[in-house]
Structure 1
Amino acid sequence: MSDAIFHAGTQITLNEALTSGNGRTLLRLQEDRNLVLYKDNKPAWQAENAWSHGNTLKVQSDGNVVLYDEGDRPVWASNTEGNDGAYLVVQDDGNAVVYDKAGGPIWATNTGD
């Protein structure tokens, strides 16, 4: 298996997840509206100040990954806007990373092996 790449336009809603190729890593928008990265079925990271507010996670064309509430207001972001062509990778090593279009990392959960 290999890392799973998610480009602009990808989005998930409640009870959905973006999963690495080997299934070891899940970036899940939980039913309680919290955005959590699971590594080996254990929580390893959560979006700061997102709990109970998240409704939709979007990978945007400006390079930002944003969690929106029910009113479409941002409650958490990777703060990587201004990087057109950037993409999110949920990696087999337990990390989630936003890479710029040249393949350089610009944000990460820092949960990889």
Structure 2
Amino acid sequence: MVTHPEATHHVDRVVGGWFDSELTARGGTQADAIARSLAARIPTGASVEVRSSALVRARTTADIIAGRLGVEVRSDSDLREKSCGADTAGRQRSPCHPCDGLGCQSSGMQP
């Protein structure tokens, strides 16, 4: 399982979830590094499948990996990210937003 690397919603500090953002240039470089690492670890002739959600950042990551591995990407709607609600997608997030996985308690910050 590979998650997408840096995307525009990360650097823009907005909630990702189902908000469709692209990889940054850095994210593209990170995806290529992931692809090279996977290619080095997978034995020649091994059966490989690459699946992705339809979100641009995930699909771009999968395309980079699949291209390196010489396979096609299969779209899988069950692989969508967690949604924090339609009213949060693409909005500025607080330093302790629940979708950041930290919460205010672990960061020591106040909402």
Q: Taking structure 1 as the reference length, what is the TM-score of the superposition?
A: 0.30
Could you say which structure has the higher strand fraction? Answer: 1
Determine which structure has greater relative contact order: mean sequence separation of CA pairs < 8 Å that are 6+ residues apart, divided by chain length.
Answer: 2
Could you say which structure has the higher helix fraction? Answer: 2
